[in-house]
Structure 1
Amino acid sequence: NHFHDFSDLVIPLYITSRQFNGEVQFVVTDNRHWWISKFRGILAKLSRYNIVDIDQERKTHCYPSMIVGLKYHHELGIDQSKSQLSMKDFRQFLRRTYSLKRAKAIKIGDEARKMPRLLIITRRKSRSFTNIDKITRMASSLGYNVVTMEPNLSTSLGSVAETVNSCDVLMGIHGAGLTNMVFLPDNAIVIQIVPLGSIDELAKQDFEQPAMDMELRYLDYKIKAKESSLISKYKADHLIIKDPLSVHKQGWDAVRSVYLDKQNVKLDVKRFRPTLLKALQLLHQ
């Protein structure tokens, strides 16, 4: 999961190892070669040495000191009361790692004739937009240059980083794809589409607060029942529709199964339009 890759591993690894300026060697267990390959660029910037797979190693390694485990602060973030580092530092580190060109989002009016770029993160299996063409047309009519992206396992992280960094607004339904906001230029805007299910606190914890810590602007859009695919499966008076908290009482697995794994969104473009207009207003500031 892309979110947990960054939140649970990459950012904690950065917090733990950045102090050594590359003079540190990573010793790993339960190695996953695909993961190492995905984040090879970041790992190479944090350590000048080859990674040691301790499960396969037969040699004895001697170090003057060792840190076992990683320093984790909170979801997708760094607590500055516990570290001299910040998410601003981390994002600058990512820009250098992937040679990203843009440090700041467009300010409309300063760059004549340039249209702000809106990146829509799409999904295929769940929490997907079922009317993406209609959303794209509406956004284009407001003056956005619209880009869509659906990263998969074969998409290089460098390619994703370049695409995201080229955009001024990123929007998507609550999910791992929004993690890519780490590559946005400063002052860019994140729009989180919050699906049905009373997951407001989760949405805030996972993406709203991290976006603010990254010096990004944040907007959200909470869908109505009529915009959820669940309305075609359950009657309007069903507890899943009218009382999501009753599902929460059944535990996280029930919430995830119903509201995250089995829900798609047909965005009401007329109702959503003011959110995109608000983003344009912010890009004028």
Structure 2
Amino acid sequence: MYDPIFAKSFNQYQRRRFGCCALVLCFITAFSISSTFNSHRQSASVIGDTVSLQLTINAVHDMRVIEDTSEKHEKRGGNAAGDLHLQINATESSMLVVNNTSLISQLLALNETRKAVSFRRISEYSLANYYAVEGDIRIEANSSTIFVVKPLDMGISSSNSTNSWSIQPYPRKGLSDVKNWTVNIVGHDDDNYGTVPKCTQNHRRPAILFSVAGFSGNYFHDFADLLFPLYTTSFRYEKEVHFLASDYKRWWISKYRRILDLLTRHEVVDIDNEKVHVHCYNNMVAGLNFHKELMIDPALSKPPSGLSMHHFKQLLRRAYSLERKRAVRSRKGDGTEKPRLMIISRNRTRAMTNEVHVSRLARKLGYEVVSAEARVSTNVTRFAQTVNSCDVLMGVHGAGLTNMVFLPENAVLIQVVPFGEIDEFARLDFRDPAAGMNIRYLEYKVSMKESSLSQQYPADHPVLKDPKSYRTRGWDALSSIYLEKQNVTIDLDRFRGTLAKALKLLRH
């Protein structure tokens, strides 16, 4: 407003100069107020949040990921009670199919009610189907369906998008004997809401759904596919978790009862046969957290504090009352050092035909030798205690070497790798996990002359002359010959050096 008294205090030039300065100052003030208001409006109104969606197709890991890249939702303190929150590691064969336009409108509507639906990859390891779900979860065994009911105030209909997908709750994909489960996200206004069952049993503790089919019964896969992934998945719950076993095998649960009882306080549920009950949870995991065989890879996902193979071995010591924590440098008895060597025997495939001579050689070098074969019916407790009493474990590549999990720390594992292009698989299964168990690893590669294949095929046959060619034909062609048709006769002169090196490792 014009003030004549104020104006008379300045001449015309001064008034013009002052007016220009005032105009600039007004612009600066207006801009500051506008910026402050916009900033305040954005922090106070979720409608003003920018929703940024990124759709990634990762051909390397064979996964499709939909991520909400806005960080503002997480900074507001997480989800309110009743929110639906999904964390998903999906593959192209078991993925959530959505309409992009519909999804964006849904996320905007969620913002209005301060709700969040996020679709996020949990594990980048391509083998695993691993889903974590939070919300109103209802499990119906009759239809093998996990219903996830969206809250009433979400106000979203999923009629224009498909919010249903199929999963196999087992670490390895595409196995025909693993039951398929359906995850179905349903809203109160959806046409199919009438199919949602009513809860008959409500649980305060979370649940983990997994399958006991697949390769269970094979000693290696029992640990690599089920027991160790169950440990890594349930660790954060500190035993306050329900295990829901699909494809239930009573003998398997009984065989590993001692381990399972240290992972959960509750009885393992045969979920497929819960026909008269609908179990309801607020939090569950479908599938198992699986990185690599008997390993936790921190590069794939940051493990919770304390989660480790070392801790898993401590759990096994408690489960089976294993006394020895460390391999000893010497054994006192008759005054001589007697490290104990255990040879894992095999009577069918990959048998060591001169095991008696190998045992005799080991005794001459100063070992006390025991031999044993791990069968499906073997008492795990007794076998684990025998392995734990040894300082060195050796055997031809196979499931029996999984008993390395019971060895004391600083023990030595000797893997005899059969002839053929299977070195990579052998090392993946046993060499790579050994470091996490604090076990020293030695490897003895069988030559063509030591292999029974040299007696089954002529010298110029591709099986002997070009083993690499069988690798390109696929796993079935490779394993059917080099794993299923091969026995080994150890060259004692060559193997003497490996046994001597194991002794040296024990003494240092």
What TM-score range do you get, normalising by the shorter chain?
A: over 0.9
Kindly report which structure 2 residues correspond to 1:233-272, keeping only aligned pairs within 5 A, or say none.
233-272=456-495
Deviation at residue 270 of structure 1 after TM alignment: 1.2
- Residue of structure 1 equivalent to 2:309: 87
SS in 2 for 1:62: strand
Deviation at residue 86 of structure 1 after TM alignment: 1.1
Render the CA deviation track for 1:73-129: whole Å, top value 9, x for unaligned. 111212244313111111111111111000000113899534100000011110011
SS in 2 for 1:66: strand
- Residue of structure 1 equivalent to 2:277: 59
- Residue of structure 2 equivalent to 1:156: 379
Percent identity between the aligned chains? 54
Kindly report which structure 2 residues correspond to 1:1-285, keeping only aligned pairs within 5 A, or say none.
1-57=218-274, 58-81=276-299, 82=301, 83-84=303-304, 85-108=307-330, 113-285=336-508
Specify whether residues 264 and 201 from structure 1 end up closer, same or farther in structure 2 by C-alpha distance, changes over 3 A only: same
Render the CA deviation track for 1:150-195: whole Å, top value 9, x for unaligned. 0112211111210110100000111111111000000000000010
Specify whether residues 46 and 279 from structure 1 end up closer, same or farther in structure 2 by C-alpha distance, changes over 3 A only: same
- In structure 1, list runs of 5 or more residues that go unmatched: none
Q: Letter of the 1:42 partner, please give it.
A: I
C-alpha contact 2:328 2:506 (8 A) present in aligned 1 = yes
Larger radius of gyration: 2
SS in 2 for 1:272: helix
Q: Letter of the 1:121 partner, please give it.
A: I
CA distance in 2, matches of 1:238, 1:213: 40
CA distance in 1, matches of 2:340, 2:431: 21
User: Which is further off, 183-192 or 79-88?
Assistant: 79-88
User: Which is further off, 239-248 or 180-189?
Assistant: 239-248
- Structure 1-normalised TM-score? 0.96
Deviation at residue 239 of structure 1 after TM alignment: 1.2
CA distance in 1, matches of 2:362, 2:490: 12
CA distance in 2, matches of 1:60, 1:93: 33
Deviation at residue 64 of structure 1 after TM alignment: 3.1
- Residue of structure 1 equivalent to 2:197: none
Deviation at residue 266 of structure 1 after TM alignment: 0.6
C-alpha contact 1:98 1:161 (8 A) present in aligned 2 = yes
CA distance in 1, matches of 2:442, 2:266: 41
Identify the structure with the greater strand proportion. 2
Q: Letter of the 1:60 partner, please give it.
A: V
Render the CA deviation track for 1:183-213: whole Å, top value 9, x for unaligned. 0000000000010012111111111111112
C-alpha contact 2:345 2:373 (8 A) present in aligned 1 = yes
C-alpha contact 1:79 1:86 (8 A) present in aligned 2 = no
SS in 1 for 2:239: coil
User: Which is further off, 60-69 or 35-44?
Assistant: 60-69
CA distance in 2, matches of 1:55, 1:268: 52
SS in 2 for 1:159: helix
C-alpha contact 2:353 2:487 (8 A) present in aligned 1 = yes
C-alpha contact 2:388 2:408 (8 A) present in aligned 1 = yes
- Structure 2-normalised TM-score? 0.55
- In structure 2, list runs of 5 or more residues that go unmatched: 1-217
C-alpha contact 1:27 1:51 (8 A) present in aligned 2 = yes
CA distance in 1, matches of 2:311, 2:405: 11
State the superposition RMSD in angstroms.
1.4
Render the CA deviation track for 1:136-159: whole Å, top value 9, x for unaligned. 101111010001110112211111
Deviation at residue 63 of structure 1 after TM alignment: 2.6
C-alpha contact 1:109 1:284 (8 A) present in aligned 2 = no
CA distance in 2, matches of 1:52, 1:283: 44
Q: Letter of the 1:5 partner, please give it.
A: D
